[in-house]
Structure 1
Amino acid sequence: MSTLPHRTLLGVTLCGLTVLVAVPLLAIVLQAVFPDLALGSFGRPLAHLGLTLSDPAIVTLIGNTLRLGLAVVVASALLGVPLGVLRGLFDLPLARLWDLLFLVPFMIPPYIAAMGWILLLQPAGFLQQLSGRHQGDVLFSFTGVVLVMALNLFPAVYFAVSRAVAASGSRLGDVAQIFGASAWRAFVRVTLPLALPALAASLLLVFAAAIEEYGTPAVLASNVGFFVLVTGIEQRFSSWPIDLPGAAVLSVMLMALALLAYIAQRWLTAGRDYETQTGKPVARGPRPLGRWQAPVLLLFGLVAALATMAPLFAIGATAFTATLSGGLAWDNLSLRHFHALFAQGSAALAALSTSFALAAGASLLTGLFGALLAYTVLRVPSRASVALDALSVLPNAMPGIVVAVGLILAWNQPWLPVTPYGSWPILLLAYACLLLPYPVRYAHAALRQIGRNLEASAFVHGAGFGATLRRIVLPLLAPSMTAAMLLVFAIASRELVASLLLTPTGMQTVSLFIWRQFDQGSVGQGMAMSLIAIAATCALVVLAHGLHGRARRDAAVA
């Protein structure tokens, strides 16, 4: 077969990654180095660095960011690891129900969850109306911010640990106990090491999500004077005079923290991978809980009540009451907030249609490009494949606000003849950059399960490269890519921080509509829209996971 299609595919994927990932990253680095870049000058390199770093607030921002990220990691591990181990090793009653309940907090946008907790725990909030007491002092504190974020993020640890422990099974631990190890020693020396890579990856995800999260620190932490790098970057864009070099320097710092976390995770698991040498490790079903069943169910129920039921109750109660001042009373129940959302000419309908259109565009763009990129990395022999693979996962270490800053710096230049800045394509670029790793990883995993002999047979029988790709490879990738695209759609339709910085004047997305309703005091209408967004996100994510699981089962049968 001619190498021309391979060269074409390499060129297309390289150009695509350059536009989506390299351009915003390079723009941030250049702006951090050259403070006059917005004026078209490369003079005075690093002149602004001393002024930015001499600001005593910078040390506070970095310290607060690290403190918050590490505290959320510890709290998420304390919640997710025990629950995940219990779910993976033991025969837990209603196991699928607990999985569903713990999936919901991960699907609630953090800024919405934070508002729900405020409405629940603040003075005169729902908790005080029901019990006569409030917990405002706890909520509006560093501890409250950590707990709210941990309750939102611990499912990442729970699902990673439970699946890893279930996959390794309990037979090897039983063998260790036969040879004299205690149950605790068998768990620490056998079961836990097998789950270490999954645990480290989930904790990295939690740390990255915590340090890049804007909504919860802006809603909760700022009320107690606790500011982090994300809020510092946003302030440099929203406060006059606008400090582009300072925002770029802070963005580089934030991305460096995410990269350091990624390097630490790789170091933690390097040389510490464990694998079984005796075939499938699961010899029997999960162990019965026995007399511990009631306490374990109580623990799961308590966590589900805090992480899922409490914020959902606050969100639903606000959405279905006519006024907050009317409180929890039967005569205050109303659907007027939902009627307002769907009234003819409502801004909410415009926001929904805009978000769904942009999310659909992002899912199609990342799905198709992600499949081509994964195919190029795995099937096209080239030295550039390593660089392409590295660029494809780099957005994992680029927080949303960093991508938004990079796109602003890259495309808001007066010398550009054509620019997407100030129009809807800039949001499409932001969503595609942030969410590209999802379809790439899904396609990467699916392609490894597809033998090369199918493509070779097609070439032998005269099929061209395009026909083979279109009629063999892409249909086999379709289930996994559909799942990835649904996941991209669900996340893109409620993305906040990039939307806040990049949405053009006169346009609204769902997340921006909700944020502005909160800011304007129309909390009921904002929560009504939030319920719709949460329901749509959960439904799409459940569908995506179902399709991905079906694709894996089909591949295993094949």
Structure 2
Amino acid sequence: MKQRLISGMTLAVLMVLVAFPLSFILLQAIFPQFSAGSLSGAFSGVSTLLAEPQLPTMLGGTLQIATGAALVSAVIGFPLGVVRGLFTLPLPRLWDLLFLIPFLTPPYIAALSWMLVLQTNGYLQQLTGINLNDLLFSKTGIVLVMALNIFPVIYFAVSRSLLASGQRLAMVARVHGASAARAFWHITLPMLSPALAAGMLLAFTLAIEEFGVPAALGTRAGVLMLTTDIEKKLADWPVDLSGASMLSVLLVVIALCAWALQKKLTGHHDVTSITGKPTENRGADAGAFTLPVVLVMALVGVVAVILPGASMALSGILGTLSGGVTIDNVTLSHYAALFSQQGDALSALGTSLSLALGTACITGCIGLLASWLVVVQKIKGRGVIDALSLMPAALPGVVVGVGLILLWNQPFWTISPYNSWVILLLSYCCLLLPWPVRYVGSALRQLSGNLEPAARVHGASAFQALRFIVLPLVSPVLLAAMLMVFAIASRELVTSLLLAPAGTQTVSVFIWRQFEQGSIGQGMAMATLTLMTGLVLMLTALGIMQRGVRR
């Protein structure tokens, strides 16, 4: 009885978080007057969308930027991941930590940091006289900024695949006369292809749904993307719900097509090595190549991490940008202003931390229950729960925002979370639910299948087995996933801009507004604190996961 109640409640929550918002987007896209309570003019929005003069430019810009970002991310992340997985490098965990920082840095903050470095009279021109303003505000600049933020997903996918599979098969090929290049091309590379394809798919998806970078750089670069136009249709008067819905559907279709293409290119089966007990590959000695490899990795670290990070930190302690990089211009007044009771920073920080904590707790509970029902209990209809819980991974944040607006801004609701902080909580929970589901689901698949049945034989109910056996075993992984959710939710931008009610600011909105108002110092001071908080939480999560694995 309790199992049915749990499965029913889990399905109901997933319907509210995922299925209903998507359904309302589709209804609004099909019936342009749906928000007004009318079902007339079905599919008339299609002709309106096709007649929009900027559609080819937006679609082309989105595909070009996303494809370019995915390719450049692969160019950077693939060779770095290969050398990290194949060779024993000095301080390997330091490189992992260094390349983790771009992933933790919100893309919009990275874009704003690069603006301060490369724009006219930016830090680079002040210190060296070099002006790269035209490069930054171009399609190439946008692609490079995105790629420098996204490439870690490919680096970690490739390096972890190599560390897990080892190089035993390639070594056997070398023993039988194959050259190093031939062994890599015919053995190692095919084994890496699923990880590389998955990483590039994720990079492409992250790029098409990105709002902050094109919003910060695209206007001056003359680049239009679907995400920025969706936000414009919702922010500018008159609000165009039908147009925003049509563009949201188009964005989801692009993401699904990318997923289908990845499946077609890599096939439906992974390349697997069956070589006995899995062990972590400790890597071969790079020999004379050690120094060049380390120098290349250090160069990438400087460009992707040190330069934007230094720009962020420096902007937070300079009194004015026009005052230049001098000792006399250094001040802590921006940090002092953040925590003064007269500003909005303290309120924004409290709002973000509260919402992030609530999101972590809710997604942790739902993720645990959904994974338990699908993996352990194997209930009827588990495919629906599994699909709904993982579907947000393919949904751009702007699409989730549009869906929640359409769902909860309806006149027939007597009580609605719209125009309150609850709508932000719902959006964060929808976007970040796949994190606990994936982590807990993976942990449950590694547990012995005899533990819960043994408890059931001795009289325990399914809920008791979940509480006293399953939960203690997966708690390290669950806590790690919740910490990651907390870190990401605390700086989410696009749905915060779309859904934040009047008078409510989150950290991301505060930073964005500070730049719009010209208060760059306070914005970057807050960005620095946000990055440090996310880094500490992520390291804590990784430490918890490693202790859980050792146990």
**TM category, shorter:** over 0.9
CA distance in structure 1 between the aligned counterparts of 2:101 and 2:305, rounded to whole angstroms: 6
Instruction: In structure 2, give the amino acid aligned to 1:164.
Output: S
Equivalent in 403, 407, 429 of residue 404 of structure 2: 407
Note the C-alpha offset of 1:397.
Answer: 1.1
Instruction: In structure 2, give the amino acid aligned to 1:153.
Output: I
- Could you say which residue in structure 1 is the equivalent of 2:222? 225
Note the C-alpha offset of 1:460.
Answer: 2.4
CA distance in structure 1 between the aligned counterparts of 2:92 and 2:520, rounded to whole angstroms: 35
Q: Is the 8 A contact 1:236 1:242 kept in 2?
A: yes
CA distance in structure 2 between the aligned counterparts of 1:294 and 1:382, rounded to whole angstroms: 55
Deviates more, 1:371-380 or 1:430-439: 371-380
- Could you say which residue in structure 2 is the equivalent of 1:143? 140
Q: Is the 8 A contact 1:116 1:315 kept in 2?
A: yes
CA distance in structure 2 between the aligned counterparts of 1:56 and 1:186, rounded to whole angstroms: 52
Instruction: In structure 2, give the amino acid aligned to 1:447.
Output: L
CA distance in structure 2 between the aligned counterparts of 1:269 and 1:360, rounded to whole angstroms: 38
Note the C-alpha offset of 1:501.
Answer: 0.3
> Secondary structure in 1 aligned to 2:151?
helix
- Could you say which residue in structure 1 is the equivalent of 2:547? 550
CA distance in structure 1 between the aligned counterparts of 2:463 and 2:85, rounded to whole angstroms: 44
CA distance in structure 2 between the aligned counterparts of 1:38 and 1:276, rounded to whole angstroms: 54
Is 1:72 paired with 2:69? yes
Deviates more, 1:47-56 or 1:249-258: 47-56
Is 1:63 paired with 2:60? yes
Equivalent in 333, 353, 372 of residue 369 of structure 2: 372
CA distance in structure 2 between the aligned counterparts of 1:282 and 1:180, rounded to whole angstroms: 25
Note the C-alpha offset of 1:400.
Answer: 0.2
Q: Is the 8 A contact 2:194 2:270 kept in 1?
A: yes
Is 1:384 paired with 2:397? no
Spell out, residue by residue over 1:302-324, the C-alpha distance to the aligned partner (whole angstroms, 9 max, x if none).
10000000001111111011111
Is 1:428 paired with 2:425? yes
Note the C-alpha offset of 1:284.
Answer: 6.9
- Could you say which residue in structure 2 is the equivalent of 1:82? 79
Q: How does 1:216-255 map to 2 (within 5 A)?
A: 216-255=213-252
Note the C-alpha offset of 1:42.
Answer: 1.3
Equivalent in 446, 450, 454 of residue 449 of structure 1: 446
CA distance in structure 2 between the aligned counterparts of 1:283 and 1:384, rounded to whole angstroms: 37
Q: Is the 8 A contact 2:164 2:280 kept in 1?
A: no
TM-score, L = length of structure 1: 0.97
- Could you say which residue in structure 1 is the equivalent of 2:264? 267
CA change 1:285–1:473 in 2 (3 A) is closer
Note the C-alpha offset of 1:383.
Answer: 3.4
CA change 1:406–1:196 in 2 (3 A) is same
Note the C-alpha offset of 1:480.
Answer: 0.8
- Could you say which residue in structure 1 is the equivalent of 2:457? 460
Q: Is the 8 A contact 1:172 1:281 kept in 2?
A: no
Is 1:40 paired with 2:45? no
Equivalent in 147, 155, 159 of residue 158 of structure 1: 155
Spell out, residue by residue over 1:484-534, the C-alpha distance to the aligned partner (whole angstroms, 9 max, x if none).
000000000000000000001111100000000010000000000000000
Q: How does 1:468-507 map to 2 (within 5 A)?
A: 468-507=465-504
Note the C-alpha offset of 1:53.
Answer: 1.4
Instruction: In structure 2, give the amino acid aligned to 1:71.
Output: G
Instruction: In structure 2, give the amino acid aligned to 1:329.
Output: T
CA distance in structure 2 between the aligned counterparts of 1:199 and 1:340, rounded to whole angstroms: 45
CA distance in structure 1 between the aligned counterparts of 2:308 and 2:109, rounded to whole angstroms: 9
- Could you say which residue in structure 2 is the equivalent of 1:120? 117
Q: Is the 8 A contact 1:177 1:186 kept in 2?
A: yes
Unpaired segments of 5 or more residues in structure 2? none
Q: Is the 8 A contact 2:165 2:281 kept in 1?
A: no
Is 1:517 paired with 2:479? no
> Secondary structure in 2 aligned to 1:361?
helix
Q: Is the 8 A contact 1:110 1:215 kept in 2?
A: yes
Q: How many residues are paired up?
A: 551
- Could you say which residue in structure 2 is the equivalent of 1:303? 300
Note the C-alpha offset of 1:283.
Answer: 9.2
- Could you say which residue in structure 1 is the equivalent of 2:200? 203
Q: Is the 8 A contact 2:481 2:541 kept in 1?
A: yes
Equivalent in 351, 356, 380 of residue 354 of structure 1: 351
CA distance in structure 2 between the aligned counterparts of 1:550 and 1:201, rounded to whole angstroms: 27
Is 1:289 paired with 2:286? yes
Note the C-alpha offset of 1:271.
Answer: 4.2
CA distance in structure 2 between the aligned counterparts of 1:298 and 1:185, rounded to whole angstroms: 26
Q: How does 1:25-36 map to 2 (within 5 A)?
A: 25-36=22-33
Is 1:317 paired with 2:314? yes
Note the C-alpha offset of 1:222.
Answer: 1.7
CA distance in structure 1 between the aligned counterparts of 2:78 and 2:281, rounded to whole angstroms: 22
CA distance in structure 1 between the aligned counterparts of 2:449 and 2:169, rounded to whole angstroms: 35
Spell out, residue by residue over 1:448-501, the C-alpha distance to the aligned partner (whole angstroms, 9 max, x if none).
122232222222222233322222221212111100000000000000000000
Q: Is the 8 A contact 1:168 1:191 kept in 2?
A: no
- Could you say which residue in structure 1 is the equivalent of 2:360? 363
Deviates more, 1:264-273 or 1:18-27: 264-273
- Could you say which residue in structure 2 is the equivalent of 1:92? 89
Deviates more, 1:162-171 or 1:399-408: 162-171
Is 1:20 paired with 2:29? no
> Secondary structure in 1 aligned to 2:285?
coil
Q: Is the 8 A contact 1:171 1:283 kept in 2?
A: no
Q: Is the 8 A contact 1:66 1:211 kept in 2?
A: yes
Q: Is the 8 A contact 2:163 2:280 kept in 1?
A: no
- Could you say which residue in structure 1 is the equivalent of 2:174? 177
- What root-mean-square deviation, in Å, do the aligned CA atoms of Structure 1 and Structure 2 show? 1.4
CA distance in structure 1 between the aligned counterparts of 2:92 and 2:464, rounded to whole angstroms: 45
Note the C-alpha offset of 1:542.
Answer: 1.3
CA distance in structure 2 between the aligned counterparts of 1:142 and 1:457, rounded to whole angstroms: 60
TM-score, L = length of structure 2: 0.98
Equivalent in 415, 427, 435 of residue 418 of structure 1: 415
Divergent runs of 4+, >3 A: 280-285
